Structure 1
């Protein structure tokens, strides 16, 4: 049995939702130290879009839970439920990671946002590879 065979859609949804909630809680804990206007988008010259602290702290977790719930309810791949599970888990991990970067930057940690996005691109590429080429032999167990 492959390790990924044990990752059900329900388990992936709970893990992803839990991660997103942890990101939201981190924002609430950091609330007193966050600026009234938070940077949420970063271009080549630095932050270029700002929102209120309330939106900056709660928008990504709320959207994350909505997306995870929507995918869990409507996007099932009966031929391979592992694909749906990995997609849900990737969504939760990615949104929590990005939310963490935004929180850190707004707390004064000058994160290189361009470099920080690199791991997401690598993991997304690996998931596409797994989807179209199959899971590598060393992961199958």
Structure 2
């Protein structure tokens, strides 16, 4: 018996695929060592080889997708749309982070203070959404 894929599964798969494709598209322009982690000031403090740098985030995204699916299967939210929204939003967030890492490694300026603010805003919005929707009917 085959399980039908949900729209969230398909959207998440597309985001993961596009994230992987982005790294492959710019492969020839990336340095041999890629910065993947930065201090609060925007200084890189962790480097990996180009193949690892391009594949790591899509692999982490896929693993995160599996963890989220398992968690929501074990403890489903009262409103099923919450699980779908959190899943797709998390994949999009991780894809955006990978895009920013690729951009920095290609020599584009990345405003890390805005990245931090954007990350915090994303977290507040997604948690706010989940809490609001889950407890709206109570």
If the length of structure 1 is used for normalisation, what is the TM-score?
0.81
Instruction: For residues 43-74 of structure 1, give each alpha carbon's deviation from its aligned partner in whole angstroms, at most 9, with x where no partner exists.
Output: 03411110000110000001101211332244
What CA distance in whole angstroms lies between the structure 2 residues aligned with 1:94 and 1:131? 16
- In the TM superposition, what whole-angstrom CA distance separates every residue of 1:81-132 from its partner, at most 9, and x where no partner exists? 1121111111110110000000000000021123123223212211211222
Give unmatched runs, 5+ long, in structure 1.
1-8, 136-141
Are 1:64 and 2:65 matched, yes or no?
no
C-alpha separation between the residues in 2 aligned to 1:48 and 1:88? 29
Aligned residues: 128
**SS at 2:130's partner residue?**
helix
Runs of 4+ in structure 1 off by over 3 angstroms are none
* TM-score (norm: length of structure 2): 0.83
Residue of structure 2 equivalent to 1:5: none
Supply the RMSD in Å over aligned alpha carbons: 2.0
SS of 1:67's partner is helix
Matched-pair contact (CA < 8 Å) for 2:12–2:87: yes
Q: Could you tell me which of 51, 54, 61 is aligned with 2:48?
A: 51
Cα distance in 2 between the residues matched to 1:118 and 1:44: 12
Alignment partner of 2:26: what SS?
helix
